[in-house]
Structure 1
Amino acid sequence: MGLSGEQSEKITAGSDAAEPPAARAAPGRPKSKKAQAQQRQRRRTARLSYDDWVDGALNLLSREGIGAIKIPRLCQELGVTKGSFYWHFDDIEQLMTAMADRWSATQSRTVRDLAAFAEIPVEERIEKMAAMLVDQRHWIVETGVREWSRSNPKVAAAVRNLDQRVFETVKRTMLDLGFDENQAGIRAGAMVYIGLGLIHGRDNLPTPSTEQVSSVIELLARP
């Protein structure tokens, strides 16, 4: 990616090239431990890739929400300078677009995986659904992404598509259990709303165990 004059100035201002005299080793003398550590840090910064930035931003989003996605905070998180950021992105909006593309691609794979549920025995499907509902890692990521979807149309579309596919998968399970179209839709909707409630209420309510969630699912799956 070519760099404009403004970006080059940003890189120069943000880089470690202007190293303070105290950090430089005197000619002909071994470098101090501090200088060696700074040199290792500069080498690591130079190796930080485009994917490292996107992955790091998504990880930060999952922990601290969309408000944390700012250049200074990301640099602190990744242990690099602003110069490293501007090697890969023109601005924070370009990084946000890359994050949205990456998350949408991940969810497309998830949607394809959901289609395979139809080949799994009904009892096993119910067990997998219960496990997904109590997976705290899933909740943490979903909370950040759903907050983000309020301001990003691409992420909102991916979230909506995923919710619809989850609903259809659960409804298919209810139909396979023998419920009619109306009852299958009602029970599938209740189960999906339970999942959304677990995502948004996880900080305020007791965390259910897998057994407890399984009991609720079995209740909804009972004729």
Structure 2
Amino acid sequence: MNKRLSTDDWLRAGFVALTEDGVAALKAEPMARRLKTTKGSFYWHFADIAAFHGALLAAWEDQAYANFVAQLEDQAGPVQKLRALGGISGSGTFDGNSGLALDPTVRAWAHSDAAVSQAVVRVDAQRMKYLGALLKDIGLTNPELVRILYAAFIGMEDMSATDAGVNGPAMGTLVDLILALYQ
């Protein structure tokens, strides 16, 4: 007898499908094949594809900020947290439900879906507010610095598939340059 699937099972499978095959894989039939079940099971949990997409997006948005902050909070102070940005870009663990590894995929999806784009904007705003607070803690209040650091983080996330190992030192260098210019 097959185990009854939960909404979380569908969402985890959806995140895996999204990262492996893109948004085109987020349809009832391919998802049912992936989980070796029927489309009826899909529709038991979600009224339609839009509801499934909405649930995926809500789950990502709920975790995106928390995952970002959690990986920086291990560091001792604001400078160390800023330097750690490069080390976490693209290196977040992906357990099928969360992790920074989803970010580039969700950003790609945002190019074709207004709701996803709005969610990315909200998450970006939260993250930049956090980075702004770190910069303020070390006496830097220029809002352009927040955008520069965050844009570097996003770019390193995209590049991490091929060269994640150099992100940490590169971000450290950027933080050092900013500190040298402003102190």
TM-score, normalization: structure 1? Answer: 0.64
The 2-side partners of 1:209 and 1:193 are apart by 13
Contact 2:156/2:167 (8 A) holds in 1: no
How far the C-alpha of 1:194 sits from its partner, in A, is 0.7
User: Larger radius of gyration, structure 1 or 2?
Assistant: 1
What is aligned with 2:96? none
Give, as a single letter, the amino acid of the residue that structure 1 aligns with 2:86: A
Q: Structure 1: any 5+ residue segments left out of the alignment? A: 1-42
Alpha carbons 2:152, 2:171 under 8 Å: kept: no
2:156 maps to which residue?
Answer: 198
Aligned residues: 173
Residues 199, 123 of structure 1: CA spacing in aligned structure 2 closer, same or farther, 3 A cutoff?
closer
With over 3 angstroms needed to count, the CA separation of the structure-2 counterparts of 1:88 and 1:173, relative to structure 1, is closer
**Counterpart of 1:146?**
107
Amino acid at match of 1:214: G
Separation (CA, whole Å) in 2 of partners of 1:191 and 1:177: 15
Is structure 2 residue 63 aligned with structure 1 residue 63? no
Q: What is the letter of the counterpart of residue 216 of structure 1?
A: L
Q: Work out whether 1:133 is the aligned partner of 2:89.
A: yes
Give the counterpart letter for 1:84 in structure 2: S
**Number of the residue aligned with 1:159:** 120
The alignment's TM-score, normalised by the length of structure 2, stands at 0.75
Change (3 A) 1:81 1:198: same
**Alignment counterpart, residue 84 of structure 1, candidates 38, 41, 50:** 41
Q: Which residue type is aligned with residue 196 of structure 1?
A: I
Following TM superposition, the consecutive aligned residue runs of length 4 or more in structure 1 with deviations greater than 6 angstroms are none
Q: Which runs of 5+ in 2 are unaligned?
A: 94-98
Partner of 1:53: 10
**Mapped contact 1:131–1:210 kept (Cα < 8 A):** yes
Letter in 1 for 2:136: L
Q: Contact 1:177–1:221 at 8 Å: present in 2 too?
A: no
> How many Å apart are 1:171 and its aligned residue?
2.5
CA RMSD of the aligned region, Å? 3.0
CA shift in 2, pair 1:188/1:86, >3 Å: closer
Structure 1 range deviating more: 132-141 or 168-177? 132-141
Q: For residue 187 of structure 1, what is the amino acid of its counterpart? A: L
In structure 2, how many angstroms separate the alpha carbons of the residues matched to 1:101 and 1:201?
A: 26
Paired AA for residue 48 in structure 1: L
Q: Aligned equivalents of 1:209 and 1:108: distance in 2? A: 20
Tell me the alpha carbon deviations over residues 139-160 of structure 1, each in whole angstroms, 9 at most, x when there is no partner: 6411111122234444322211
Deviation at 1:69, TM superposition (A): 1.0
Equivalent-residue separation in structure 1 for 2:174 and 2:43 (angstroms): 50
Matches of 1:103 and 1:140, distance apart in 2: 11
Change (3 A) 1:132 1:174: same
1:107 to 56, 61, 64: 64
Amino acid across the alignment from 1:64 = D
The answer to whether 1:188 aligns with 2:146 is: yes
Q: Which digits, 9 at most, give the CA deviation of each residue in 1:51-85, with x for residues without a partner?
A: 21122112221232212212222122222232322
Does structure 2 retain, via aligned residues, the 8 Å contact 1:171–1:188? yes
The structure-2 alpha-carbon separation of the partners of 1:197 and 1:127, relative to structure 1 and needing over 3 Å to count, comes to: closer
1:201-220 matched pairs, under 5 angstroms: 201-203=159-161, 206-207=163-164, 208-220=166-178
